[in-house]
Amino acid sequence: MTIFGINGSPRKNWNTATLLTKALEGAASQGAQTELVHLYDLAFQGCVSCFACKIIGGPHYGRCAQKDGLSPLLKKIENDAVAIILGSPVYFGAMSGEMRSFIERLLFAPLVYSKPPGSLFPRRIKVGIIYTMNVTEEMSAARGYQMIFDSTEASFRFIFGETETLCSYDTYQFPDYSKVVMAYMDPAQKAMRREKVFPDDCRKAVELGRRIASF
Mean pLDDT within 89-103: 94
Query: Is residue 26 scored above 80 in pLDDT?
Result: yes
Mean pLDDT within 151-176: 91
Q: Report the topology of domain 2-212.
A: Rossmann fold (3.40.50)
Mean pLDDT within 113-120: 85
Query: Is residue 12 scored above 90 in pLDDT?
Result: yes
Beta bridge partners of 164: 128
pLDDT band (50, 70, 90) for residue 186: confident
- Give the domain ranges of the chain: 2-212
Query: Is residue 2 scored above 80 in pLDDT?
Result: yes
Query: Is residue 136 scored above 90 in pLDDT?
Result: no
Distance from C-alpha of 130 to C-alpha of 132, rounded to nearest angstrom:
7
pLDDT band (50, 70, 90) for residue 163: very high
Identify the pLDDT of residue 18: 96
Mean pLDDT within 47-57: 94
Please state the φ and ψ torsions of residue 21, each to the nearest 5 degrees: -65, -40
Other beta carbons less than 10 A from residue 46's beta carbon: 16
